[in-house]
């Protein structure tokens, strides 16, 4: 898949060491602030496109100059050669689904290259503080925060039901089946965040629809199981950045 390169400003932000998932306490409040900041950014207004459905958001006040191209290049090195990066074991991965507008399930796995792989998936099926989007007409969809070995701090926000989409995010899409779908993942890094709009980064769209070499980070969806009782199981598998995949050469020592 293709990652573009563009000059941007990079800010510094304090990131505490990893804590067991889900995130709580002072770190949770810090991530909530950063998530709110990302949410105020729109396409071409602070969200910098790295690829289709993949964005870079700068945290806090800009403090120094570096290249979004560095992040794009790092992600390109991590995923660019794969046709189906979501199913490549050498990548960090997230598998998620919902059923009947609830039953949020997620597991991530850390790739060997992260240095933090235990060989086991980090499974959050019974580990959500918030899952359903209650009364979408009047409320924003909730945001769940996790920290996983090999992945780092990230949030998950489902952005659509079969009837509503979250107005503060661009290019949202209603679910193809009854339920809750299309999460935005935000990976919080020192000074910036990587935003993955999973529904836009699909690998199963007709090749060439977006750009010549686009294969997307997500696949194996949107319907994962249409035969289980309780409604369609909807979700995707995605390749996601390992905690160290998008380290900037210019900030490493
Ligand atoms: C991964 O392991 C390294 C080395 O032990 C550690 O410094 C780092 O904080 C870990 N990161 C995550 C996200 O697990």
- Name the residue of 15, 116, 241 to mutate for ligand 1: max ligand atoms within 8 A of Cβ: 116
Query: Residues 159, 166: contact at Cβ < 8 Å?
Result: yes
Report which protein residue has its CA nearest ligand 1's atom 2: 116
Residue 25 lies in a domain: no
| Per-residue pLDDT reduced to its tens digit, 207-223 | 444 444 456 899 888 89
Cα–Cα distance between 200 and 49 in angstroms, integer? 12
3-class secondary-structure state, position 31: helix
Report which protein residue has its CA nearest ligand 1's atom 11: 150
Residue 30 lies in a domain: no
Cα–Cα distance between 26 and 244 in angstroms, integer? 23
Using the 8-state DSSP alphabet, how is residue 179 labeled? S
pLDDT at 111 over 90: yes
Report which protein residue has its CA nearest ligand 1's atom 6: 116
Give the residue numbers spanning the domain of 105. Answer: 87-246
pLDDT score for 22: 83
Residue 238 lies in a domain: yes
Residue 16 lies in a domain: no
Residue 59 lies in a domain: no
Query: How far is ligand 1, taken at its centre, from the CA of residue 116, in Å?
Result: 6
pLDDT score for 131: 96
Residue 150 lies in a domain: yes
Query: Residues 196, 53: contact at Cβ < 8 Å?
Result: yes
Helix or strand run (H / E) with residue 209 = none
Identify the residues whose C-beta falls under 6 Å from ligand 1.
18, 115-116, 149-150, 152, 243
- How many domains is the chain partitioned into structurally? 1
Cα–Cα distance between 183 and 197 in angstroms, integer? 7
Residue 20 lies in a domain: no
| Per-residue pLDDT reduced to its tens digit, 159-216 | 999 999 999 999 999 999 999 999 999 999 988 899 999 999 986 555 444 444 456 8
CA 17 to ligand 1: nearest atom: 9
> Global pTM?
0.86
Residue 81 lies in a domain: no
């Amino acid at each position: 898949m293709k990652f573009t390169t563009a000059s941007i400003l990079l800010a510094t932000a304090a990131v505490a060491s990893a804590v067991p998932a889900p995130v709580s306490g002072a770190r949770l409040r810090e991530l909530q602030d950063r998530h709110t900041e990302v949410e105020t950014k729109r396409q071409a207004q602070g969200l910098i496109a790295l690829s289709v459905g993949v964005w870079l958001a700068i945290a806090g006040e800009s403090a120094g100059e570096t290249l979004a191209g560095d992040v794009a290049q790092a992600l390109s090195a991590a995923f660019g050669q794969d046709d189906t990066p979501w199913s490549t074991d050498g990548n960090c991965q997230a598998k998620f689904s919902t059923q009947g507008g609830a039953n949020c399930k997620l597991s991530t796995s850390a790739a060997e290259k992260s240095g933090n792989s235990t060989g086991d998936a980090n499974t959050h099926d019974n580990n959500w503080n918030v899952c359903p989007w209650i009364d979408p007409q009047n409320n924003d969809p909730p945001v769940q925060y996790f920290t996983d070995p090999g992945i780092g701090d990230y949030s998950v926000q489902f952005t659509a039901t079969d009837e509503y989409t979250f107005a503060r995010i661009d290019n949202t899409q209603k679910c193809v089946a009854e339920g809750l779908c299309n999460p935005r993942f935000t990976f919080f890094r020192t000074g910036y965040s990587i935003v993955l709009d999973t529904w836009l980064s699909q690998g199963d769209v007709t090749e060439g629809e977006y750009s010549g070499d686009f294969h997307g980070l997500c696949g194996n969806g949107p319907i994962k199981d249409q035969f289980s009782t309780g409604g369609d199981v909807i979700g995707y598998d995605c390749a996601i950045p390992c905690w160290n995949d998008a380290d900037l050469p210019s900030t490493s020592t």
